[in-house]
Structure 1
Amino acid sequence: MKSVALALVAGSALAGCQTAALAPAGPELLLTGVGRYAVFADLSTRTRSGDHARIRSLQVVEPGFEVDGRAFWGGWSWWAFDCAAGTADRLDFASVSEGGIEGPAVPDTDPPYPAAPGGDAAELLAVTCSDARAGPILTTVEAAVTAGQQALTE
């Protein structure tokens, strides 16, 4: 998987950063897993067509994460899944700096891969393909960052 730090630097180096544009009703963020990062699925972006599904996820980094002196909350990624085959394809990464400013998306050109049990991709696939959900739904990025950073420090 591509280096998150590299993507954060690339996103912050490009001009034209903008505030994150989410679904009109706002995000519906569900914590899907905590490991190196806290990962949230944005249920408001979930779409499905047959065995294929897409969703946007928010990856939250530990408190105090900085790249080149700039504080970051994490980043957004679009994912595509083949629910029948159990494969995942991370399509991009857009950094989110402290305050919620979203950097431009950096494409992820790696091919789809099997979603390994217990990994971020498998946890997102479960929520996206089968509507599996457990836990509270958070409605702001700020709330997800707070909850994610707390989970990372536990």
Structure 2
Amino acid sequence: MKSIALALAAGMALAGCRTIPPAPVGPELLLTGVGRFAVFADLSTRTRSGDHARLRSLQVVEPGFEVDGKAFWGGWSWWTFDCAARTADRLDFASVSEGGIEGPAMPDTDPAYPAAPGGDAAELLAAACSDARPGPVLRTVESAVIAGQQALAE
């Protein structure tokens, strides 16, 4: 009887010690384009349902960008895409001030529009609608801001 109790206790202890790989935590930021801004797709937020996709993007501004004396790194936006029709719909914008503090999201009520080749929307659509990762994936907003600002300076 004593050996059965010990075996049960050992089994319960081992069951509590299973190793489960951790889920990725934080963003997976892929640079999708550089123009007026450096734009990153956060692949960790990408979801697909049929021809429709959704993801969050980070828009990085040049160093020293200020509004009313307050320094900003850029902003986040949620997007939805119709991969078959090649349309994009920016849903909102939330500023990111220096240091990574995110402001409230402001809705973007403009309707979906065709994603013009070479534009930010088309580049984000490609990241949302494809599994390809053409470039390094950055894991922090700070590293994306540094890389984005370097790209803007080139």
Q: How high is the TM-score relative to the length of structure 1?
A: 0.84
- C-alpha distance in structure 1 between counterparts of 2:116 and 2:92, whole Å: 19
Determine the C-alpha separation between the residues in 1 that align with 2:82 and 2:51.
Answer: 6
> What SS does the corresponding residue of 2:63 show, helix, strand or coil?
coil
* Structure 1 residue 112 displacement after superposition: 0.1
How far the C-alpha of 1:26 sits from its partner, in A, is 0.4
> How far apart are the structure 1 equivalents of 2:56 and 2:24?
14
CA distance in structure 2 between the aligned counterparts of 1:24 and 1:56, rounded to whole angstroms: 16
Q: Does 1:33 align with 2:33?
A: yes
- Give structure 1 regions of 4+ aligned residues with deviation exceeding 2 angstroms: none
Q: Secondary structure at the match of 2:116?
A: coil
SS of structure 2 residue aligned to 1:135: coil
Indicate the SS of the match to 1:84.
Answer: coil
Match of 1:84 in 2: 84
Q: Percent identity?
A: 88
How far apart are residue 131 of structure 1 and its match? 2.0
Gaps of 5+ in 1: 1-22
Shift of 1:133: 2.0
2:100 maps to 100
State the alpha-carbon separation in 1 of the partners of residues 34 and 131 from structure 2. Answer: 19
Tell me the equivalent position of 1:149.
Answer: 149
Higher relative contact order, chain-length normalized (CA < 8 Å, sep 6+): 1
Partner of 2:48: 48
Mark the structure with the bigger radius of gyration. 2
1:67 partner amino acid: V
Q: What residue is the counterpart of 2:64 in the other structure? A: 64
Shift of 1:27: 0.3
Q: CA shift at 1:25, angstroms?
A: 1.0
TM-superposed deviation, 1:24 = 7.0
Q: Partner amino acid for 1:35? A: G
| Aligned-partner SS, 1:123 | helix
1:96-135 equivalent positions in 2, closer than 5 A? 96-135=96-135
TM-score (structure 2 length as normaliser): 0.84
Letter in 1 for 2:71: A
CA–CA distance in structure 2, aligned partners of residues 106 and 45 of structure 1: 19
Shift of 1:42: 0.3
Q: Return 5+ residue gaps in structure 2 as ranges.
A: 1-22
Superposed CA RMSD: 1.1
Change (3 A) 1:69 1:108: same
Per-residue CA shift, 1:28-75, capped at 9, x if unaligned?
000000000000000000000000000000000000000000000000
Give the match's secondary structure for 1:104.
coil
CA distance in 2, matches of 1:127, 1:58: 13
128-137 vs 112-121, which deviates more?
Answer: 128-137
Deviations 1:87-125 (A, max 9, x none): 000000000000000000000000000000000000000
